[in-house]
Amino acid sequence: MRTIGFETFLPWTTLFKVLRDMKNSNPNINSLVRLNYIKHLALKSLLFILLVSCVRAQNTEEVKVDTSLYVGAERIDLYLPRLEGKSVGFVGNQTSVIGGKHAVDTLLSRGVNIVRVFSPEHGFRGTADAGELVKGNIDQKTGLPVYSLYGKQKKPSAESLKDIDVVLFDIQDVGVRFYTYISTLHYVMEACAEMNIPVIILDRPNPNGHYVDGPILDTNYRSFVGMHPVPTVHGMTIGEYGLMINGEGWLPKGLLCDLTVIPMLNYTHEMRYSLLIPPSPNLRSDQAIQLYPSLCLLEATSVSIGRGTDGPFERYGHPDFPKTDFSFTPKSGFGSKSPKHEGKLCYGYNLKDSVDRMHELDISYLIHAHKLLGPSMFAGKESSFNLLAGNGEMIKQVQLGMSKEEIEATWEPALSNYKETTRPKYLLYP
């Protein structure tokens, strides 16, 4: 708050001016008169000082504003009343935490009747490989039955939702179309809409939420790694994305989910957010999460993105790349049981220190790798690549030798429409 200094109120300049004028008009003016006038003005000044001091003390009192980020799960008082007396299903994984403690444990301690847990890709505790089918089991810590949504079926069955009154969804996403947690969200919303079960999303930040880029999915290439006509980097939190699924009518047969989003407090899309818990086994750093949208396109080629090393999604390479100063040898381990080019020396490029924050989907890595390897890079992987790209055009564009700028220009009309028309309708945060 703006404060005003004492000097604004004190009539010192007036005092000197009056005394000067008095002396000039009558050099013999009684000094006692001047002294009395000085005392009069001094008293007024003292009163002003006391008055302004009181006002200033009141106006400059520090107002403490809490600007800390609170994720949806931490705002328990907003959603706990909705769970009282209800049988609750919980969709989550290792990122579902409240103050360092798993949300399931916290809610159970608060008397919430969680009866079933549903787990996405990588499992409830986040230990399964990418693409590895996850089986249902019993969670050892809580004794709760865990139903897999990344096994034989990806949509909750009617049997698994039987007698559930409300479903909580709390998973940390990274804001990329082919990251499968938003596909899990779709199927949870669809199943719950069919059975008239409300869904509550506990919203979390999108570490790639500060930009939107990439081609819009051609629905002819719809799959679990791309279910909706959105760009590669969609710029939405998972709560906003759920609102968009509902609002755009993407659930089948005109279904509409009874959806509530518990929003974050003090979040903006420009905010930098460092994930304390890896959302999946191979996204272990901020750099990896930033590079993931761009490097994941190489997953559906013969190029390694560092799975089986200490820097997945921070590098790329291949045994047939020309020799460089940087190399790595993929080995089987946590999160990569059978990595690409296992046991083979791969020459390549370390991107870890080259990235602070991405602001675009950078296909230059893809184009560069193709220049080094040629058509063999896509051999046998064309269909998988098209699903990640979300269309059948990008692979042709790269093979034809189109530049990065030429390829990006083909995205622009549909991308601009999404940015200007679709996305803004569902934003909860500036």
Provide mean pLDDT across the span 228-239: 98
Which of 15-19, 316-320, 387-391 is predicted with the least confidence, judged by mean pLDDT? 15-19
Angle between helices 364-373 and 286-295 (to 10 degrees): 60
Residues 329/345, Cβ–Cβ less than 8 Å: yes
Examine the domain organization and report whether 235 and 341 are in the same domain: no
Give the chain's mean pLDDT.
88
Provide mean pLDDT across the span 100-128: 88
**Predicted local confidence at residue 356, as pLDDT:** 87
Looking up tokens 């309708």 gives: 425
Examine the domain organization and report whether 27 and 119 are in the same domain: no
- Has residue 214 got a pLDDT over 70? yes
d(CA 278, CA 284): 5
Residues 211/193, Cβ–Cβ less than 8 Å: no
Confidence of residue 142 (pLDDT cuts 50, 70, 90): confident
User: For the chain, how many structural domains are there in total?
Assistant: 3
Examine the domain organization and report whether 211 and 323 are in the same domain: no
Residues 107/84, Cβ–Cβ less than 8 Å: no
Of 224, 247, 262, which closes a domain? 262
**Predicted local confidence at residue 122, as pLDDT:** 77
Provide mean pLDDT across the span 395-411: 98
35-71 tens-digit pLDDT: 444 444 455 555 455 554 544 545 545 567 788 999 9
Examine the domain organization and report whether 39 and 133 are in the same domain: no
Examine the domain organization and report whether 42 and 79 are in the same domain: no
In this structure, the number of other CB atoms found within 10 A of the CB of residue 128 comes to: 23
Examine the domain organization and report whether 247 and 306 are in the same domain: no
DSSP-assigned letter for residue 287: H
In this structure, the number of other CB atoms found within 10 A of the CB of residue 39 comes to: 10
Confidence of residue 152 (pLDDT cuts 50, 70, 90): confident
Q: Is residue 341 part of a domain?
A: yes
Please give the distance of CA 94 from its chain centroid, rounded to a whole number. Answer: 16
Parallel/antiparallel/unpaired status of strands 259-262 and 199-202 = parallel
Bridge partners, residue 186, by sequence? none
Q: Is 44 exposed, middle or buried (CB count within 10 Å of its CB: 0-12, 13-18, 19+)?
A: middle
120-136 tens-digit pLDDT: 987 786 555 555 556 67
**Predicted local confidence at residue 188, as pLDDT:** 98
Examine the domain organization and report whether 297 and 372 are in the same domain: yes
Q: Is residue 430 part of a domain?
A: no
1-44 tens-digit pLDDT: 333 333 333 443 444 444 455 445 454 444 444 444 444 445 55
Q: Is residue 141 part of a domain?
A: yes
Examine the domain organization and report whether 301 and 223 are in the same domain: no
Provide mean pLDDT across the span 315-336: 95
Q: Residue 96 belongs to what domain range? A: 72-262
Looking up tokens 């569902």 gives: 426
Confidence of residue 304 (pLDDT cuts 50, 70, 90): very high
Q: Is residue 427 part of a domain?
A: no
Q: Is residue 419 part of a domain?
A: no
Examine the domain organization and report whether 229 and 113 are in the same domain: yes
Of 33, 59, 85, which closes a domain? 59
Q: Is residue 281 part of a domain?
A: no
Q: What is the DSSP string of 192-251?
A: HHHTT--EEEE----TTTT--BSPPPPGGG-BTTB-SS--SB----HHHHHHHHHHTT-S
Residues 401/407, Cβ–Cβ less than 8 Å: no
AA identity, residue 297: L
364-385 tens-digit pLDDT: 999 999 999 999 999 999 999 9
**Predicted local confidence at residue 194, as pLDDT:** 98
Count of residues in the chain: 430
Q: Is residue 426 part of a domain?
A: no
Residues 278/172, Cβ–Cβ less than 8 Å: no
Please give the distance of CA 239 from its chain centroid, rounded to a whole number. Answer: 10
Nearest to 179 by CA among 125, 128, 120: 120
The angle at the Cα of 144, spanning 143 to 146, to the nearest 5 degrees, equals 125
Provide mean pLDDT across the span 217-234: 98
* Span between the terminal Cα atoms of the chain, in Å: 24
Whole-prediction pTM value? 0.84
Examine the domain organization and report whether 96 and 245 are in the same domain: yes
Q: Is residue 421 part of a domain?
A: no
The angle at the Cα of 271, spanning 69 to 314, to the nearest 5 degrees, equals 115
**Predicted local confidence at residue 34, as pLDDT:** 47
Provide mean pLDDT across the span 384-398: 98
**Predicted local confidence at residue 135, as pLDDT:** 67
Q: Which two tokens stand for residue 201?
A: 């999303």
Nearest to 185 by CA among 231, 193, 138: 193
Examine the domain organization and report whether 182 and 237 are in the same domain: yes
Residue 345 CA: distances (Å) to CA of 324, 331, 394: 11, 10, 29
Residues 128/52, Cβ–Cβ less than 8 Å: no
Examine the domain organization and report whether 291 and 353 are in the same domain: yes
**Predicted local confidence at residue 337, as pLDDT:** 87
Please give the distance of CA 205 from its chain centroid, rounded to a whole number. Answer: 3
DSSP-assigned letter for residue 422: I
**Predicted local confidence at residue 207, as pLDDT:** 98
d(CA 136, CA 151): 8
